[in-house]
Structure formats: C-alpha cells, structure tokens
C-alpha cells in the first residue's frame, strides 16, 4: 500500500499548519546557506519570526540566474559530508544547474514518487519499465526509487534502443512505463515496423508521461493508440525532479504535493499573485528538504490553479497541465503564441502523424511561420494534400491569428532527438 491517506486527504487547515511548521524549519535551514543568509541579512528578514505562510512574500524570488551565479555550493545548507547524491537539470535553457540531496531528501523524494504512481493506480504486481534517462537527469532515478518503494519489478531500460524497449515489454510483460510523450508516439512507428500491434502484442496498461509540455490531444493520441491510461507527471530538478505534481485517476489537473512544496502562481510581469483559475508562473518553496532549500523559486512554467475540490478526495490543490515555459512564448509578426496551441490544432487531424516542427524565418524583413508535419500515409491524388494543407492552415489561423505555411512531409522525415523533443526552430534574423 502506498496510499498516504492521512497526508493526502488532510483537512485544509491542518495542511496549512503543517506547511507553516515546515516553512519555519526550511527558512531556518536556508539561513545556513551562503546565499540566503546574505539575502536575509540584506533585507533584515528574521526566519525565527515567521508567523504566517504569507510572511515569505517579504523574500525576493530566487531564479535560475541566482543558482547559476552561486554555482555549485552557494545554496548548500548542510556540510558537504551529509550530501549523498547530486542531480542536474537537462539544460534545456542554458547551463545546467546542480541540486544536492541528503539521505532524508532522497527518501522523501522516493516517497513522493511512490505516492504519485500509487495514486494513478500502479501496484506491487506491476512490471515497470523506466525509459527515462538515468544519471544526472532526474527522470530515471527519481521514478526508479519510487517504483521500488511500491514494490514493483523495475526494468531500468533507460532511453533509446526502441526495438529493445519493445522486446523487453514483450518478454517481461511490462504493464507500466515511464516515457516522454514524444517518445511514446515515436515508439508506435517501431511497433509498426516490427508488424506488432501495441494494443494486443504487449501487456501495457498505464504510462506516466512528463518532462516536456504536451497537449490533452497528445495524451489522447497516446491513450488510444496503445489502449492504455496516460498520466501526466510534472516536476523539475530544482524541486527534486518527478513527484512534484501528478494526475489522479480523474485526470483533471495535477495534485501538487503541498506537504512538500509551498506554491504560488504569479503574474510573470508584475510578480503579483494570480487569482485561482488564471494562468501565471508557478513558484515553489521546498518544505521538506535539508540539502538545498529553495525559497520562492521561479520555475518559468505556466499553469493555473483549479479552484474546485477533486472528486478523489485529496485536498492538495491541483494545477492545470503546463502550457510551456514563459520563454517558450513565440512572438510572430507581433502576435504572441505558444507551440502548444499549434500542437493542439495539429493533433485533431487524423491524417497527421505524431511529429511536427515549428520553423521561423525572416523573409523580406518579415517573420514567416512554417509548420512542418508528418502525414501518416501517402495519397496519390495531389488534391488531397492541397485540401489538407489548407484545412490545417485555416485551423491554425483560427487559433493563433497567423496563417502559417504548411509543409507536409513523409512519415519519419523530421529528425528525432533522444531526450526532450525540439519543437521550435527559430532561424529569424536577430539583428
Ligand atoms: P530543464 O529545465 O533543463 O529542462 P529539468 O530536466 O529539470 O531541466 O526539466 C524540468 C522542466 O521540464 C520543467 O520546468 C518543465 O518546463 C518541463 N516539464 C516537466 N514535466 C512536465 C510536464 N508534465 N508537462 C510540461 N512540462 C514539463
Ligand atoms: Zn484527485
């Protein structure tokens, strides 16, 4: 059993008390780090004087920049001897940052991941194949320890080598998989090449998808193609990795584990709190971390809070799926848009495969938007392509107000990378 009922369904008032208690401890710990001790002194903040959760509003935000400037040990709260593990971000947006964990931190992290997977329905009897990267990246080891805690048999396959992934699934009756959504879709092609049916020739029943933005339509495509349940898993290295927010069986928003993370949603421009239901940047404060506490860490990730309680009975609040990072926002011909909006439109066309790319260029001093998409099968009649191209362009224009050029390419044309999918190629003149 990994249903931590007392914590997961705790009365809200009790949960807030627990948070306050843990916040106090965290702030006192933070005061032992080179970075926060200096900051607290500068703003005359006394961590022993904290009375309410709102008191952290006095503390300035921490961002990736500070982490980079004070790399590697500026946020360490314990002697280095107490650290048992180091992890690092994937470096999607620049120089990777490092995070240090004590035994307690690793234990708590494994617990959060186990709790998350159990919530989604994973059990001891499951065979769990973890296709995420092992090593510095948090996706591999993070899920690994959580799955072992539940008592599942873990196949630490790591990423890539698609034929072998499928062979492992078949030989060991894998029932649950942790996978990048883009890779789950790519794997479908490999099933096809091997003349196998992912619905019948493997025993999969659930996947955990995360680490990169994906649309609801992408989830549905994965669920329908494999005939499985797909659960959204959100996390970031700075907050351990996976196990920060996760979907329950209702698949309607992700429960943020509030016993371990205090979170705020702010307007990224004014930095003021956003009301529930309105989109903003997620900001986290760790509540149960010894090695490297972070106070008001700006994730750049955009989401909103679901104000209503979840029918599953858990009291930890839910956030929407992540729309992307605020630096994913594209400004094309002066219009703002997110790659996710384009994906949402594309996935509604049954003729379209699972791989696409957004290409930006400058033509005669103007931005030009091209959406390159793979199509599933080839048609003899050119008019079919013409029609499809027009329909896609119109649907995208309705969504983002700009008419893109649509480039239909054969299945398998767009280069795939191991790791997080690259969806945007910006070749515009920067001058
Ligand atoms: P990097 O920031 O270098 O990519 P991480 O490996 O720590 O390093 O990745 C964390 C980031 O991945 C998050 O901040 C978020 O942008 C993205 N991410 C993680 N899980 C999800 C998810 N379920 N949906 C959308 N984006 C996600
Ligand atoms: Zn729920």
Above 80 in pLDDT, residue 1?
A: no
Residues contacting 400, CB < 8 A, separation 6+: 332, 335, 337, 341, 342
**Whole-structure pTM value:** 0.93
- Among 318, 190, 344, smallest CA distance to 252 is for 318
Q: Can you say how many angstroms the Cα of residue 154 is from the centroid of all Cα atoms in its chain?
A: 22
260 Cβ closer than 6 Å to some ligand 1 atom: no
Alpha-helical regions (H) of 324-371: 339-346
pLDDT on residue 269: 94
Ramachandran category for residue 360: left, alpha or beta (phi over 0 → left; psi -120 to 50 → alpha): beta
Q: Which atom of ligand 1 is nearest to the CA of 138?
A: 6
User: Binning pLDDT at 50, 70 and 90, where does residue 380 land?
Assistant: confident
Above 80 in pLDDT, residue 379?
A: no
Q: Count of residues for the chain?
A: 431
**Pocket mutation for ligand 1, best pick of 159, 182, 212, 281 (most atoms within 8 Å of C-beta):** 212
The 3-state secondary structure of 269-319, one letter per residue: CCCCECCCCCCEEEEEEECCCCCCCCCCEEEEEEECEECCCCCCCCCCCEE
The two structure tokens encoding residue 224: 């329908």
Cβ pair 314, 335 in contact under 8 A: no
Buried b (16+ CB within 10 A) or exposed e, 231-267: bbbbbbbbbbbbbbbbbbeebebbbbbbbbbbbbbbe
325 Cβ closer than 6 Å to some ligand 1 atom: yes
d(CA 312, CA 116): 13
The two structure tokens encoding residue 379: 């048609």
Q: What is the mean pLDDT of residues 414-430?
A: 88
90 Cβ closer than 6 Å to some ligand 1 atom: yes
Q: Mean pLDDT over all residues of the chain?
A: 95
- Among 7, 3, 70, 37, smallest CA distance to 261 is for 7
Q: How far is the CA of 196 from the centre of ligand 1 (A)?
A: 32
What is the set of domains in the chain, with CATH numbers?
Answer: 1-326 (3.40.50.12780), 330-427 (3.30.300.30)
8 Cβ closer than 6 Å to some ligand 1 atom: no
Of 378 and 16, the one with more pLDDT: 16
Task: State pLDDT tens for residues 255-273.
Answer: 999 999 999 999 999 999 9
The two structure tokens encoding residue 76: 């360490």
Percent of the chain with pLDDT over 90: 87
117 Cβ closer than 6 Å to some ligand 1 atom: no
Strand order in the sheet with 424-426: 405-410, 366-375, 352-363, 424-426
pLDDT on residue 381: 76
Q: What is the mean pLDDT of residues 361-388?
A: 88
Sign of CA dihedral 260, 266, 268, 271: negative
The two structure tokens encoding residue 36: 């926060």
Q: Which atom of ligand 1 is nearest to the CA of 93?
A: 3
Above 90 in pLDDT, residue 365?
A: no
d(CA 97, CA 87): 8
Q: How far is the CA of 358 from the centre of ligand 2 (A)?
A: 34
Task: State pLDDT tens for residues 120-140.
Answer: 999 999 999 999 999 999 999
pLDDT on residue 334: 86
Give the chain's end-to-end CA distance (angstroms, integer).
58
Task: Extract long-range pairs of 266-275: CB within 8 Å, 24+ residues apart.
Answer: 266/298, 268/298, 268/300, 268/302, 268/326, 271/61, 274/304
β-bridge partners, 425:
359
Task: State pLDDT tens for residues 53-99.
Answer: 999 999 999 999 999 999 999 999 999 999 999 999 877 777 789 99
User: Binning pLDDT at 50, 70 and 90, where does residue 431 land?
Assistant: low
212 Cβ closer than 6 Å to some ligand 1 atom: yes
d(CA 386, CA 300): 39
d(CA 100, CA 77): 10
Q: What is the mean pLDDT of residues 213-239?
A: 96
Task: State pLDDT tens for residues 163-212.
Answer: 999 999 999 999 999 999 999 998 999 999 999 999 999 999 999 999 99
Task: State pLDDT tens for residues 102-111.
Answer: 999 999 999 9
Of 259 and 354, the one with more pLDDT: 259
**Pocket mutation for ligand 1, best pick of 87, 136, 235 (most atoms within 8 Å of C-beta):** 235
The two structure tokens encoding residue 31: 């005061």
Of 364 and 36, the one with more pLDDT: 36
């Amino acid at each position: 059993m990994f249903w931590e009922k007392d914590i997961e369904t705790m009365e809200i008032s009790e949960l807030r008390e627990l948070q306050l208690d843990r916040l106090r401890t965290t702030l006192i710990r933070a005061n032992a780090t080179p970075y926060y001790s200096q900051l607290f002194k500068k703003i005359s903040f006394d961590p022993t004087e904290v009375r309410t959760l709102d008191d952290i509003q006095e503390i300035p935000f921490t961002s990736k920049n500070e982490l980079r400037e004070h790399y590697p040990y500026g946020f360490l709260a314990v002697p280095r001897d107490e650290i048992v593990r180091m992890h690092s971000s994937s470096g999607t947006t620049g120089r990777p940052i490092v995070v240090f964990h004590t035994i307690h931190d690793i234990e708590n992290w494994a617990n959060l991941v186990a709790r998350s997977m159990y919530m989604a329905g994973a059990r001891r009897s499951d065979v769990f194949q973890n296709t995420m990267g092992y090593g510095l990246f948090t996706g591999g080891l993070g899920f690994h320890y959580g799955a072992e805690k539940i008592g599942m048999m873990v196949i630490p396959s790591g990423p890539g080598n698609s034929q072998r992934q499928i062979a492992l699934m078949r030989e060991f009756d894998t029932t649950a998989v942790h996978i990048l959504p883009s890779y789950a879709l790519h794997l479908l092609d490999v099933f096809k090449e091997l003349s196998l049916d992912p619905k019948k020739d493997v025993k999969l029943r659930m996947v955990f998808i995360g680490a990169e933005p994906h649309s609801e339509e992408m989830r549905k495509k994965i669920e329908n193609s494999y005939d499985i349940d797909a659960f959204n898993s959100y996390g970031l290295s700075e907050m351990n990795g996976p196990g920060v927010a996760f979907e329950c069986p209702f698949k309607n928003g992700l429960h943020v584990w509030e016993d371990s993370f205090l979170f705020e949603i702010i307007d990224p421009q004014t930095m003021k709190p956003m009301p529930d239901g309105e989109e903003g940047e997620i900001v986290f404060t760790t509540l149960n971390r010894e090695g490297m506490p972070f106070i008001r860490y700006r994730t750049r990730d955009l989401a909103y809070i679901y104000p209503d309680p979840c029918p599953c009975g858990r009291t930890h609040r839910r956030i929407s799926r992540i729309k992307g990072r605020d630096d994913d926002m594209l400004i094309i011909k002066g219009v703002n848009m997110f790659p996710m909006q384009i994906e949402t439109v594309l996935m509604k066309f049954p003729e379209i495969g699972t791989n696409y790319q957004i290409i930006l260029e400058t033509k005669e001093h103007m931005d030009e938007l091209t959406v390159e998409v793979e199509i599933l099968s080839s048609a003899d009649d050119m008019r079919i392509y013409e029609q499809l191209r027009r329909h896609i362009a119109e649907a995208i224009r309705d969504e983002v107000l700009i008419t893109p050029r649509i480039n239909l390419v054969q299945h398998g044309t767009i280069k795939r990378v191991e790791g997080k999918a690259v969806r945007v190629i910006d070749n515009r003149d920067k001058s």
